[in-house]
C-alpha cells in the first residue's frame, strides 16, 4: 500500500467524518470504499491544474462497477495543498463532456521509467468538484 493512499484516506476520513477502508485486492481499479456506498480513486499531483485528468480505463471500469454494485464512484485528486472530490457517477449520469482524447503520456507514474505510450484520457474541470478542502 502506498503512503499517498494512506495519507489521502486519513485526510478524507477526517474531513468526511467516516471510516474509509483501503482496498487490498490487486484486481480492483479503485483505492478505497466506505460504508455509505461510495468508492474512491485517488490521485496525487504536486502541481495544480484547472482540469483534473482521468484515464478512460479507470473511468469505464469504475463506472460499470459502480452501477453493478449500486455505489458512487468518487474521484479524489490532491493537487498541492487542496483536495478535490468529483462525483464521477453523477457527472456521467448528467452527460458531462469529459473531452476524451488520445494523449502521449508516461507509461506509469509509479516507477522511474522514461517510456511513454498513448492513453485515452479525459478532463474534469475543478469547478465540477463536489467538495474542495
Domain ranges of the chain: 3-132
DSSP-derived 3-state class of residue 23: coil
Report pLDDT for 113: 63
Report pLDDT for 66: 96
DSSP-derived 3-state class of residue 49: coil
CB 84 within 8 A of CB 77: yes
Cα gap 31→65, rounded to integer Å: 13
Nearest to 52 by CA among 73, 77, 72: 77
Report pLDDT for 97: 98
Q: Which residues of the chain have pLDDT under 50?
A: none
CATH number of the domain located at residue range(s) 3-132 in this protein: 3.40.1350.10
Cα gap 117→99, rounded to integer Å: 19
Amino acid at each position: 500500500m502506498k503512503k499517498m493512499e494512506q495519507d489521502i484516506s486519513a485526510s478524507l476520513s477526517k474531513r468526511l467524518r467516516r471510516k474509509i477502508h483501503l482496498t487490498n485486492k490487486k484486481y480492483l481499479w479503485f483505492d478505497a470504499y466506505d460504508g455509505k456506498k461510495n468508492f474512491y480513486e485517488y490521485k496525487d499531483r504536486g502541481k495544480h491544474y484547472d482540469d483534473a485528468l482521468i484515464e478512460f480505463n479507470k473511468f469505464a471500469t469504475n463506472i460499470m462497477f459502480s452501477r453493478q454494485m449500486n455505489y458512487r464512484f468518487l474521484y479524489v485528486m490532491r493537487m498541492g495543498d487542496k483536495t478535490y472530490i468529483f462525483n464521477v457517477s453523477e457527472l456521467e449520469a448528467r452527460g458531462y463532456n469529459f473531452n476524451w482524447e488520445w494523449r502521449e503520456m508516461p507509461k506509469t507514474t509509479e516507477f522511474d521509467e522514461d517510456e511513454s505510450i498513448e492513453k485515452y484520457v479525459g478532463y474534469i474541470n475543478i469547478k465540477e468538484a463536489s467538495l474542495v478542502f
